[in-house]
């Protein structure tokens, strides 16, 4: 079985996608053997009514998700009273995590409000996913160009929050030439494989990092789900590593999650 940590519901703002209706998405994930999908909402990228985005996300997961979809609410700490959005995610919706889009929400991780958010999320025990990018910057719509999130400050911030659990999504373009060790040393920082590239890229990533820090993420339905699976196949991973990547590592981050 597969735990896919990087799936989104609703509409990508720039084109319709096969799988952007929740029932279809759930059907497709089930056919691929996905037993659990951590889902955010594409709406979070540009919508300002984040409370509405999260309410719809929760509703879609309840109506169509079965046991598969685990909602990860959006937070935009540049919006007034973002703390109430976090409270709702945790207390009203019992969400296991939140997903951030700092580049689309136009803040740097050096902004003190990010440290405040990280502290609040750690205190409430929710996983923080940072979507470092969503698509290749070269192909972005000319009116909506968002460079990858600058992660330089992140290790120091994570060090100050030993209870924090973070996952970096779609991080490859931003960090491909940098050392990842500072993130590993800082605390519980995990990396998905959705944008990892190069021959046997997944295997090389699991050699480069402690293997338990690498988790399966597809960026479906914006990306073809098959890309993540085929990358694993191309890498020729041993069975134990395959199991870690497909579900073991994600289950370590989110043990026994309930909605």
Partner 1 sequence: MEVLVRSADRVGIERLILSQGFSSVPHPTPNILREENDRVMRAVKRFPDRAYGSVFLSPSFPEFSLREFDRCVRDGPMVGVGELEADKRCNSPEHDAIVERAISMKVPILQHTWMKAEGNDPGESTPYDLVELAKRHPEANFICAHTGGEWERGIRIIRDTKNILAEIAGFDPTSGVVEMAVRELGAERVVYGSDVGGRGFASQLAKVVGADIPTAAKELVLGGNLRRLFAPILRAKGYKG
The least distance separating partner 1 from the CB of residue 115, rounded to whole angstroms, comes to 31
- The residue (of 88 and 242) whose beta carbon lies closer to partner 1 is 242
By CB under 8 A, name the one of 115, 124, 184, 224 that touches partner 1. Answer: 224
User: Which residues is 166 bridged to in the sheet?
Assistant: 128, 189
Contact flag: residue 223 with partner 1 (CB under 8 A): yes
SS3 per-residue string spanning 76-140: CCCCCCHHHHHHHHHHHCCCCEEEECCCCCCCCCCCHHHHHHHHHHHHHCCEEEEECCCCCHHHC
CB 259 within 8 A of CB 61: yes
- Cis peptide bond prior to 221, omega within 30° of 0: yes
- The residue (of 59 and 234) whose beta carbon lies closer to partner 1 is 234
Contact flag: residue 207 with partner 1 (CB under 8 A): no
By CB under 8 A, name the one of 79, 115, 227, 257 that touches partner 1. Answer: 227
Query: Contacts with partner 1 in 104-163 (CB under 8 A)?
Result: 135-142, 145
Instruction: Give the separation between CA 196 and CA 165, rounded to whole angstroms.
Output: 21
Judged by CB under 8 A, the stretch of 110-118, 119-127, 183-191, 192-200 that binds partner 1 is 192-200
Binding site for partner 1 (CB under 8 A): 15-19, 135-142, 145, 195, 197-201, 220-227, 229-231, 233-236
């Amino acid at each position: 079985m597969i735990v896919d940590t990087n799936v989104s519901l609703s509409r990508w703002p720039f084109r319709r996608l096969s799988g952007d209706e929740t029932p279809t998405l759930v059907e497709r994930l089930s056919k691929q053997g996905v037993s659990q999908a951590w889902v955010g909402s594409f709406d979070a990228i540009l919508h300002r009514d984040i409370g509405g985005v999260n309410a719809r996300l929760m509703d879609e997961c309840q109506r169509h998700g079965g046991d598969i979809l685990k909602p990860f609410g959006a937070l935009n700490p540049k919006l007034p009273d973002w703390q109430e959005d976090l409270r709702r995610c945790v207390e009203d919706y019992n969400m296991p995590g939140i997903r951030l889009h700092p580049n689309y929400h136009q803040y740097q991780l050096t902004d003190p409000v990010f440290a405040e958010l990280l502290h609040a999320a750690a205190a409430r025990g929710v996983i923080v996913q940072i979507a470092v990018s969503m698509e290749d910057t070269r192909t972005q719509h000319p009116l909506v160009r968002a460079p990858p999130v600058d992660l330089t400050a992140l290790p120091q911030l994570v060090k100050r929050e030993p209870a924090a659990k973070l996952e970096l999504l779609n991080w490859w373009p931003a960090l491909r030439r940098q050392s990842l060790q500072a993130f590993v040393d800082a605390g519980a920082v995990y990396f998905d494989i959705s944008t990892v590239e190069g021959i046997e890229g997944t295997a090389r990533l699991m050699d480069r990092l402690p293997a338990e820090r690498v988790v399966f993420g597809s960026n479906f339905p914006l990306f073809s789900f098959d890309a993540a699976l085929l990358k694993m196949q191309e890498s020729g991973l041993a069975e134990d590593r395959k199991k870690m990547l497909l579900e073991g590592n994600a289950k370590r981050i989110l043990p026994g999650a309930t909605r």
